[in-house]
Chains A and B, each alone.
Chain A
Amino acid sequence: MQQIRRRLLKAIGSVIPLAAAAGAGLLRAGDAFAATWNKAGFDAKAAADALKSLGVTGAQPSKDIVLTTPDIAENGAQVPVTVTSKIPNTQSISIIVEKNPFPLSSTYDFSSGADGYVSTKLKLGQTSNVVAIVKADGKFFTATKEVKVTIGGCGG
Chain B
Amino acid sequence: MSRREFLHTLAVASAAGFPLGRAARAATINDFYDLHSFGNNVTLMHFTDCHAQLLPSYFREPSVNIGVAAMAGKPPHLVGEALLKHYQISPNTRLAHAFTHLDFERDARAYGEIGGFAHLATLVKRVRAQRPGALLLDGGDTWQGSATALWTRGEDMVQAAKLLGVDIMTGHWEFTLGAARVKELVETQLKGSIEFLAQNVLTTDFGDPVFAPWVMREINGVPIAIIGQAFPYVPIAHPRHFVSEWTFGIQEENLQKSVDAAVAKGAHAVVLLSHNGMDVDLKLAGRVSGIDVILGGHTHDAVPDPIPVKNRGGTTLVTNAGCNGKFLAVLDLDVRNKQVAGYQYRLLPVFSRMLDADQGMSELITKVRAPYAQKLGEKLAVSEALLYRRGNFNGTFDQVILDALIQETNAEIAFSPGFRWGTSVLPNETITLEHVMNQTAITYPYTTVTEMSGETIKSVLEDICDNLFNPDPYLQQGGDMVRTGGLRYVCDPTATIGNRIRNMTLNGKLIEAGKRYKVAGWAPTGEGASGRPVWEIVSRYLRDKQVISVPHLNLPELSGVSDNPGKA
A-to-B contact residues, CB < 8 Å: 2, 5-6, 9, 68, 70-75, 80, 127, 148, 150-156
Report B11-67 residues with CB < 8 Å from chain A CB.
49
Q: Contact string, B413-440, partner A, CB cutoff 8 A, digits 1/0?
A: 0000111110000000000000000000
Give the residues in chain A near B250, CB-CB below 8 Å. Answer: 71
- Whether B206 and A2, one on each chain, are in contact in the complex, defined by CB atoms closer than 8 angstroms, is yes
- Whether A5 and B206, one on each chain, are in contact in the complex, defined by CB atoms closer than 8 angstroms, is yes
Shortest CB-to-CB span from A86 to chain B, Å, is: 15
B331 within 8 A of A: no
Q: Contact string, B474-488, partner A, CB cutoff 8 A, digits 1/0?
A: 110111101000000
22 A-B pairs within 8 Å (CB atoms) are namely: A5-B206, A70-B249, A74-B233, A75-B240, A127-B497, A148-B470, A150-B466, A151-B460, A151-B463, A153-B524, A154-B419, A154-B477, A154-B482, A154-B523, A155-B231, A155-B234, A155-B236, A155-B237, A155-B477, A155-B478, A156-B49, A156-B480
- Whether A154 and B206, one on each chain, are in contact in the complex, defined by CB atoms closer than 8 angstroms, is no
Known contacts A5-B206, A74-B247, A151-B463; is-contact A156 B298 (Cβ 8 Å)? yes
Count, A-B residue pairs, CB within 8 A: 92
- Whether B240 and A154, one on each chain, are in contact in the complex, defined by CB atoms closer than 8 angstroms, is no
Q: In the bound complex, what is the Cα–Cα distance between A53 and B263 (angstroms)? A: 49
Known contacts A2-B206, A71-B249; is-contact A150 B478 (Cβ 8 Å)? no
Shortest CB-to-CB span from B262 to chain A, Å, is: 23
B238 within 8 A of A: yes
- Whether B467 and A156, one on each chain, are in contact in the complex, defined by CB atoms closer than 8 angstroms, is no
B391 within 8 A of A: no
Q: In the bound complex, what is the Cα–Cα distance between A59 and B557 (angstroms)? A: 46
Q: Is the interface of B mostly helix, strand, loop or mixed?
A: loop
Give the residues in chain A near B523, CB-CB below 8 Å. Answer: 153-154
User: How many residues of B are in contact with the other chain, CB < 8 A?
Assistant: 46
Q: Is the interface of A mostly helix, strand, loop or mixed?
A: loop
Q: In the bound complex, what is the Cα–Cα distance between A80 and B207 (angstroms)? A: 11
Q: In the bound complex, what is the Cα–Cα distance between A150 and B299 (angstroms)? A: 19
Q: Contact string, B298-328, partner A, CB cutoff 8 A, digits 1/0?
A: 1110000000000000000000000000000
Give the residues in chain A near B388, CB-CB below 8 Å. Answer: none
Shortest CB-to-CB span from B491 to chain A, Å, is: 15
Known contacts A70-B249, A151-B463, A153-B525; is-contact A75 B235 (Cβ 8 Å)? yes
Q: Given contacts A150-B466, A154-B237, A156-B479, list 5 more A-B pairs with CB under 8 A.
A: A152-B237, A152-B525, A154-B467, A156-B300, A156-B419
Give the residues in chain B near A5, CB-CB below 8 Å. Answer: 206
Give the residues in chain A near B478, CB-CB below 8 Å. Answer: 155-156
Q: Which residue of B lies closest to A9 (CB)?
A: B205
Shortest CB-to-CB span from A55 to chain B, Å, is: 32
Q: In the bound complex, what is the Cα–Cα distance between A148 and B203 (angstroms)? A: 21
B196 within 8 A of A: no
Q: In the bound complex, what is the Cα–Cα distance between A80 and B205 (angstroms)? A: 11
Give the residues in chain A near B76, CB-CB below 8 Å. Answer: none
Give the residues in chain B near A156, CB-CB below 8 Å. Answer: 49, 141, 172, 231, 237, 277, 298-300, 419-421, 477-480
Shortest CB-to-CB span from B173 to chain A, Å, is: 9
